[in-house]
Structure 1
Amino acid sequence: MGDSEATFAWRMFNLNWLPIVLMGAMLLGVVVCTDFSLEPVGFGVTIAIGISLVLIAYGSACTFADLKLIFWFGSTAQLIITAAIVGPLSYVGNALSWPLQDQTLLLIDRAIGLDPSIDCSLCKRSQLAREIPEQWLWPHQMAITRHPHHFNDGVAVD
């Protein structure tokens, strides 16, 4: 990686924190001002892992360690923290009745060759999927495996 590439990558890495901090501030505002709450252990552990990786990345940057190592730790931290923040924000968007884009995303998935109906049909036919303990499943997986007649081509049917 050349010097100009490394400088550009470092600027982009630091710039990526802006939307992450804004989303975190939005989530904090919602939790403080409304009756939404976060599960403290799960959210706290996830954020703690992300912050640990951030500290390793910036600590390595101060000691002029290998750039690949710095960016690996830093970008992994950004992914973990973003995932921890965006998950609860989707519930906020749903509670505010913001238009969700499920059908649009399904069309995009199918356009690029990802078809969730294949996964649903495998779950519908699999006896093993019905024997998985419920605490191991996400809610949508549980609905598909326990009540397959409620789903058609990967989309819930009312």
Structure 2
Amino acid sequence: MMKKIATGILAIAATSAVALSLPSAASATTATATATADFDDYSDYWGPVYAKQHLAKAQGHVDVAWDEEDSNEVQVTGRLYDLDDRDYDEGGKCAYVKFQAEDSDGDWSTVYTRKYCGSPGYKKFHFEENDVFTLRVKVCQVPEQGTFATKCGSWRELYSAEDA
């Protein structure tokens, strides 16, 4: 009988020790995650953004890091999907994504484009750009052997320094 009571007390003590150690381990994990997340001044998922008639789409993630001199670095990752399953001789087209950045003077310039032919499927992409005030994206379709974008969706703003 005495052995059972001693075993029970030891089991309770061991369980209490484990329970007391868990909150400190959880807070250490949270502190590490917070320190890592502080690197990005802005971070968000974007999309999906579609071409007209939803035959192409893009989606991904944008991260922005600012330095002390009012300069930033924008990193964009994503996937471009070709959703047009028609053959090219039937009028099928490829997916096309275009990114434009606005600088602090209000001037827009194209900073990245990508074309992908291969329904069904997608192509991953990644690019970086510096000193971006606003970033926007548009998804279109293009002929397999061409670069003239057609059936474009509207521009979608992904990031603005005013909102961050």
TM-score by length of 2: 0.23
Higher relative contact order (CA 8 A, sep 6+): 2
More strand by share: 2
Higher CA-based Rg: 2
More helix by share: 1
